[in-house]
């Protein structure tokens, strides 16, 4: 089946554009705050100071003796970049100025009490601004070069916005790639699973959400590996264990053709029953991960029922007086305990098997205890693998198919239980199934 390629904007581009938009909006807000709260007050104060200096210079010039005025003009030009001249400036009615010069015109108007307007003039390639002020019964022009003002807020804002936009786009692209890179690895790993391959484990690093996502995927990948391994073992074990009864049945059929006897017919029936049991166990293992509704289960009643199904005196229940009610999957629990009890009855010898239930903190622990030969310590974990048997003869007389404990482990993993095997003091085996109380 072909997988259609998803259309639309990639996640990296979407995140990059979103981050860039956020950065640009933030920069605009910062620029507006700086302009309103910092640049505007400073511009007004600077304009008021310059307006005061211009008016004061014109008044001082008119009050000085004519002989000292040239020195005053030179000092004023050298120190404050202000030039005085008797020639009135050209009035530019339609001239428009920048924000700072408009603020300066307002400040001059407030100090002179009349509407003032700056005139622009180009002298030797440089722009000058002039204003005519009354001084001692006459009018004097006061001018200053454009370089004295120096402030270019709009150009500054444009340059800063351009640089900020470039940095925002670069930062957004880097952050988007850094965020999406683990998702791209996850996408590739999921695609490998979809093609039937064995997924590689992902690094569980990065932000918490991505690390948790990688951890969950790795858990799934391990389960897929285990399922694939179990499938291989299952098929190999079924084919191996079916060959022996099939070979006996083929031989029995050949003998029946020559001389049918009740013993040979009974042997055929026994082989068929053995094959049916094996297939039933395999189906139980295959159904181990099927979901089941959670209901309240009375553990005491369940254990008493399991004990009553055995022969008289074969099972002894040891139950506490406290209520043993738990919310769990009842059929799965019955299958798991039935398999543990069946193993204990098969290998426990002549001693009765004990069914024990106890509460340990927030968990119920159910034990199946026998006095059989136990399991070698190095094989305790291996017996949970399908078709693994401690007794290696594969005879149905001395042992089962090797699937009982594998089914118990599968049911425990699917329902959040814990299963543990350990050898008993004095001989025998303890099998404990632990269930959460709630």
Task: Say yes or no to pLDDT of 386 above 80.
Answer: no
Look at the domain 11-155 and name its fold.
Answer: Beta-Lactamase (3.30.450)
Residue 84, beta-bridge partner list: 142
- Give the distance, in angstroms, between the CA of residue 343 and the centroid of all CA atoms in the same chain: 44
Match 């428009």 to its residue by tokens. 96
Residues 6+ apart with CB under 8 A from 169: 16, 20
Contact 207, 181 (CB under 8 A): no
Domain boundaries, the chain: 11-155, 200-289, 292-436
Percent residues over pLDDT 70 in the chain: 82
Could you tell me which of 325, 329, 327, 326 has the C-alpha nearest to residue 288?
A: 329
The CATH class that applies to domain 200-289 reads mainly alpha
Predicted model pTM: 0.46
pLDDT of residue 234: 59
Task: Say yes or no to pLDDT of 140 above 80.
Answer: yes
Same fold, 200-289 and 292-436: no
**Rounded to whole angstroms, how far apart are CA atoms 378 and 374?**
12
Q: Mind listing the pLDDT tens digit for each residue in 66-84?
A: 889 888 889 888 888 888 8
Q: Mind listing the pLDDT tens digit for each residue in 150-192?
A: 656 667 767 877 887 788 778 777 877 777 777 777 777 777 7
The CATH class that applies to domain 292-436 reads alpha beta
pLDDT of residue 389: 65
Contact 142, 130 (CB under 8 A): yes
**Rounded to whole angstroms, how far apart are CA atoms 306 and 420?**
20
Residues in the chain: 438
Could you tell me which of 186, 190, 231 has the C-alpha nearest to residue 204?
A: 186
Which residue would you say has higher pLDDT here, 244 or 43?
43
Average pLDDT over residues 122-130: 83
Average pLDDT over residues 234-240: 62
Confidence band of 138 (pLDDT split at 50, 70, 90):
confident
């Amino acid at each position: 089946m072909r997988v259609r390629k998803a259309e639309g904007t990639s996640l990296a581009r979407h995140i990059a554009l979103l981050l860039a938009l956020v950065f640009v909006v933030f920069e605009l807000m910062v620029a507006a705050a700086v302009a309103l709260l910092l640049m505007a007050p400073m511009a007004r104060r600077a304009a008021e100071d310059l307006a005061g200096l211009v008016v004061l210079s014109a008044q001082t010039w008119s009050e000085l003796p004519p002989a000292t005025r040239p020195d005053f003009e030179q000092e004023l030009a050298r120190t404050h970049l202000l030039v005085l001249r008797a020639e009135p400036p050209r009035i530019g009615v339609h001239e428009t100025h920048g924000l700072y010069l408009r603020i300066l015109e307002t400040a001059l108007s407030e100090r002179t009490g009349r509407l003032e307007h700056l005139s622009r003039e180009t002298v030797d390639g440089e722009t000058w601004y002039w204003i005519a002020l009354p001084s001692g019964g006459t009018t004097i022009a006061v001018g200053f070069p454009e370089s004295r003002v120096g402030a270019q807020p709009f150009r500054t804002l444009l340059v800063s916005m351009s640089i900020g936009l470039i940095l925002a786009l670069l930062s957004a692209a880097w952050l988007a790639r850094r965020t999406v890179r683990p998702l791209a690895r996850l996408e590739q790993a999921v695609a490998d699973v979809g093609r039937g391959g064995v997924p590689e484990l992902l690094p569980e690093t990065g932000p918490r959400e991505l690390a948790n996502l990688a951890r969950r995927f790795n858990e799934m990948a391990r389960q897929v590996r285990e399922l694939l391994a179990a499938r291989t073992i299952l098929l190999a074990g079924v084919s191996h264990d079916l060959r022996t009864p099939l070979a006996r049945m083929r031989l029995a059929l050949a003998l029946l053709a020559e001389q049918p006897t009740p013993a040979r017919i009974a042997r055929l029936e026994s082989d068929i029953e053995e094959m049916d049991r094996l297939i039933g166990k395999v189906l139980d293992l295959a159904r181990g991960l099927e979901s089941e509704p959670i209901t309240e289960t009375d553990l005491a009643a369940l254990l008493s029922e399991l004990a009553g199904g055995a022969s008289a005196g074969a099972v002894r229940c040891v139950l506490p007086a406290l209520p043993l009610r738990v919310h769990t999957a009842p059929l799965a629990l019955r299958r798991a305990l039935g398999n543990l009890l069946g193993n204990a009855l098969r290998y426990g010898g002549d001693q009765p098997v004990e069914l024990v239930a106890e509460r340990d903190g927030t968990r119920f622990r159910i034990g199946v205890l026998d006095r059989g030969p136990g399991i070698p310590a190095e094989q305790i974990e291996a017996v949970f693998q399908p078709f693994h048997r401690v007794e290696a003869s594969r005879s149905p007389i001395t042992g089962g198919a090797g699937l009982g404990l594998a089914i118990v482990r599968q049911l425990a993993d699917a329902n959040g239980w814990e299963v543990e095997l350990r050898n008993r003091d004095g001989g025998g085996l303890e099998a404990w199934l632990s269930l959460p109380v709630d």
